[in-house]
Amino acid sequence: MRRVRATVDAGMSTAEYAVGTVAAVAFAVVLFKVVRSPAVSAALTGIINSALHSV
């Protein structure tokens, strides 16, 4: 019985890792698109420039 449970659990964890990986990649793509947008890019550039000029 333990051998059957181990086999079933191993398949489930592999599927869960696959779903988690796909979700993480999708989140990374969305985050990349947001950061590359002109508004966010300008805001980040302004923050970095003001930080460098204040030093």
Which residue, 12, 26, 34, 54, is CA-closest to 44? 34
Handedness of CA 12, 14, 16, 18 (dihedral sign): negative
Our count of domains for the chain comes to 1
3-state secondary structure the chain: CHHHHHHHHHHHHHHHHHHHHHHHHHHHHHHHHHHCCHHHHHHHHHHHHHHHHCC
pTM here?
0.57
Q: What is the pLDDT of residues 1-55, one digit of tens each?
A: 566 555 555 566 888 899 999 999 999 999 999 989 999 999 999 999 999 997 6
User: What is the domain extent for residue 25?
Assistant: 2-53
In angstroms and rounded to an integer, the radius of gyration of the C-alpha atoms of the chain is 22
